[in-house]
Every structure is written in structure tokens, then in C-alpha cells.
Amino acid sequence: MSSKLAQFGKRHIARGIGRSTELVIEKAKGTYVWSVEGKKYLDLSTGIGVTNTGHCHPTVVKAVQEQAANLTHGQVNIFFQKPMLDLIEGLQPKMPHPSLDTFFFWNSGSEAVEAAVKLARQATKKQNIIVFQGSYHGRTFGTMALTTSKTIYGKGFGPLMPGVHVCAYPYFQQWAAHKADPAKFTPEWCGEEALHQLELVLKTRSDPEDTAAILIEPVQGEGGYVVPPKNFMTGLRDICDKHNILLICDEVQSGFGRTGKMFAVEHFNVRPDILVMAKGIASGYPLSAIVSRKELMDLQPPGSMGGTYSGNAVSCAAAKATLQVFEEEKILENTNARSEQFFSTLRSKLPGLLPKDMKVDIRGLGLMIGIEFLNAPKGFASAIANEAFDLDTIVLTTSIYETLRLIPPLNITKEETDLALDRILASVEAAAKKL
């Protein structure tokens, strides 16, 4: 049945959607999904970092059912609706800085990034936005110009939104100087050099008086799950303060506990001017948001923001229930415990499964884990993902380099983590033997 349904999907769903499997699923629970044939798969993708509380968490399901029977749509340009106000009351104390106290809700991560750009341009009366090499901020028309992780996201759609300038990101393993002489350079050096490159952009391409904001993922997602050195993030904040530029942190993928803290910027003690969130916010229901200082948000005139489904009531109820699960089940504690389990096992066992001329960089924070195979032949990461699929496990690749990303639910158990590790290591071993 699955093959027949998949063929139907291929005929009638837009070809422009890339898809990592041809599975047709009809049920999901916790860390698992089931195909229409009833086959069970261990899901280490969580809808690309969306179902952080696992598939169909009963607390979230209950909240959605109750809200759907009470109010499904309270249009934001017409009403205040209680689910949104309840959500703000729960969210605001979780923000990485107390100045972040005023919210705007939309539907997707891309829309939220565009909302942040709208706010930055309107508040500063400046146009330009600086982004970083390897960034992913979305596939809507505005965000295509901001995304630099792969050309496929913008190829053939130009001309794109003007006023965007790209700067180097401190991707240590792929920095040319590091590759030439790995023993000579450190991540901190890379961070300083990236800051130097940013200052050059401000001197040669986008004057501070024309620069509204610097937009960054505190941990890059589609770019390879790359964690910048702390000196880069703190230096970025200093440059923004020095030049009166807003710092926008895109936490669409890294937020809501994914890195072991509620938001990744907390690892760096850096204050964003605008924080962008989506994905894990509502455990699978379409919702996104930006949050900023009230004095910035109040610079936008009424009517300049909005949307038919902005802050949908059912999605807001799901998000409030998600926060409840975080508290009741100590999700952040589990995230950090399982993170240690993943990293310690991968770092001790995975290198020994590879050919002698192949190195591996196992990196990330919390349960946002990247595994890059250095000097690997093209397609090696995909080959591992295919081997994992044969072991009934969903694993995704990322970036232009040979990189796997592990994005399990944040409430994955110790036993499920052991199973995931066994299957990942077996998949790496099988793919390596076929080289």
C-alpha cells in the first residue's frame, strides 16, 4: 500500500519538495512513527526539530482537543484571545533576557524571520541586513535572500530581496587556514578572524548607518550544526552596540530546549535585540514568534503587522501545554543527560569504525548533534542515512559537507538512546565497509 500511496503523492504533490524517504506514515507516538503497513521506525528527525516533546504527547493532545472544541480561530487583528495571552504569560519568564517582553506571533519560521526584518528596518529606519555564510533562514521570498547554506533554496528565483550582505561564519573545521595547518589555529582564533571579517564588511559593503541588523543562528542548523566560539558571539554583541545595529538571533531550530538550555544564546550570555522562534514552540502545531523590547515593537504603527492565522488559538494552546511538559517532566534535565550519553558513546566508538584517512567531528549542544565526516567521499553521509533506514531508523543529513544531524525528541529515554546509538554505529560501520 505504501508504494502505491507514495506514487500517488509523487503525481499530485509539488515536485519542488525534497524528501528524504518515501515512507507513508499514519501514526506517531513519542520517539516512533509507523507506516501505513504498520512498520515501526525510530525517529531521530522529529520533523526537523519540531516535535521536541515527542510525537503526540498526551498533555499537548489533550490541550489541543479541549481548545479545538472551545475556540479554533480568534483572528489577531480582531480580538485579543485568551490562549495567546496565556501563552505570553508562560513564555515571557523563559526569555533569555528580561527586556524581551513584547511578542508577535505568526505561523512559520520563515514568516517570523521576515517579521524580525520588518521590525529591524522600521525601528532603525535603515535597510541592510548582514547574514553569515552557511545560514538558513527560510524559503519564502524574503528569506531566500538571507539563506546561504545551499544554492538550491534560491536558485532560479532571482532577483532576490536587496540589501543583504554575507559575512564569514566561524566554521572552524572548514576554515581554509585551519585546513592548511590544523595545529596552528584554535576556534577562538577563528572567532576573532570572523569578527575581523565582519568589521571589514561594515567598512567596505554596508556602512553601519545603513545597517539595520545582523541576523545569526546561535548554532547553525542547515549549515551543519556548527557551534560558534563564545568570543565570536560576545564580540558580535559588542559590534552591534558599538555601531547601533540590532542583533537578531534566529532560534527557530536551536530554541525550546534543543541545546540543553531553553535558548542557545544562553550558552553565550548574549542578549539579542530580537529573538526568532518556531519549530519546537508548539510540539508540531504551526506557530512562530518574534520577541523584542516594547520600545522597539511600539515603533511599528497598528496595521503594519498581522495575518489571518497569526497566533492561531489551537497552536497557542499547544505551545502553552508544551511549556507545561517542559516543567512537569524536567525536559532540560533529560536533554542534558541524554546529550552526555550520545556524545560520550559517539566520541569513544565512532572514530574506530572509519578508514584511517577519514576523520570525524562530533559537535553540537544538547540534542542538536552534528557528525561531520572529514575527507569522506561525496555521498558518504547519505549512505549512512540509508543504512540507518534499513535498520528502521530515520536520520537526516545536513549542509553541503558530509554531515549527519541527530535531532531526537528531548524526552527520549536512556533505553531509546542506547538503541539509537547501536543503530547509528552499525550504520556507520556498514557504510564504511562499502567504501
CATH architecture of 2-56+330-433: Alpha-Beta Complex (3.90)
Residues, the chain: 435
Q: Do β-strands 40-43 and 393-394 pair in parallel, antiparallel, or remain unpaired? A: parallel
Residue-wise burial string across 143-164, b where 16 or more C-beta atoms lie within 10 A, e elsewhere: bbbbbbbeeebbeeeeeebebb
- Which pLDDT does position 1 carry in this prediction? 61
Q: Show the cell assigned to 230.
A: 563564545
- pLDDT, one tens digit per residue, over 319-366 is 999 999 999 999 999 999 999 999 999 999 999 999 999 999 999 999
- Which pLDDT does position 172 carry in this prediction? 87
Terminal C-alpha separation, the chain: 34
Sequence ranges of the domains in the chain: 2-56+330-433, 61-328
- Which pLDDT does position 253 carry in this prediction? 98
In angstroms, rounded to a whole number, what is the distance separating the alpha carbons of residues 30 and 51?
9
The ranges of the chain with pLDDT < 50 are none
Give the C-alpha distances (Å, rounded to integers) separating 304 from 6, 109, 123, 309, 316: 42, 19, 12, 15, 22
Q: Determine the Cα angle at 196 with ends 195 and 197, to 5°.
A: 90
Contacts of 10 (CB under 8 A, 6+ apart): none
Tell me the CB-side half-sphere exposure of residue 178, using CA atoms within 13 A: 15
218, 265 in Cβ contact below 8 A? yes
- 196-201: which pairs have CB atoms within 8 A and are 24 or more residues apart? 197/167, 197/168, 198/130, 198/167, 198/168, 198/236, 198/239, 199/239, 201/130, 201/165, 201/167
Compute the 3-state secondary structure of the chain and give helix, strand, coil in percent, each to the nearest 5.
Answer: 45, 15, 40
Q: Do β-strands 368-374 and 403-406 pair in parallel, antiparallel, or remain unpaired? A: antiparallel
CATH topology of domain 61-328: Aspartate Aminotransferase; domain 2 (3.40.640)
Give the C-alpha distances (Å, rounded to integers) separating 389 from 42, 121, 267, 418: 9, 45, 33, 17
In angstroms, rounded to a whole number, what is the distance separating the alpha carbons of residues 363 and 368?
8
Give one DSSP letter per residue of 225-244, joined into a string. SPPPPHHHHHHHHHHHHHHT
Beta bridge partners of 360: 373
209, 126 in Cβ contact below 8 A? yes
Q: Is 364 left (phi over 0), alpha (psi -120 to 50) or beta?
A: left
- Which pLDDT does position 409 carry in this prediction? 98
In angstroms, rounded to a whole number, what is the distance separating the alpha carbons of residues 404 and 48?
12
**pTM for the whole structure:** 0.96
Q: What is the dihedral of CA 122, 124, 130, 135, to 10 degrees?
A: -50
Residue 68's nearest CA partner among 285, 386, 374, 378 is 285
In angstroms, rounded to a whole number, what is the distance separating the alpha carbons of residues 324 and 410?
14
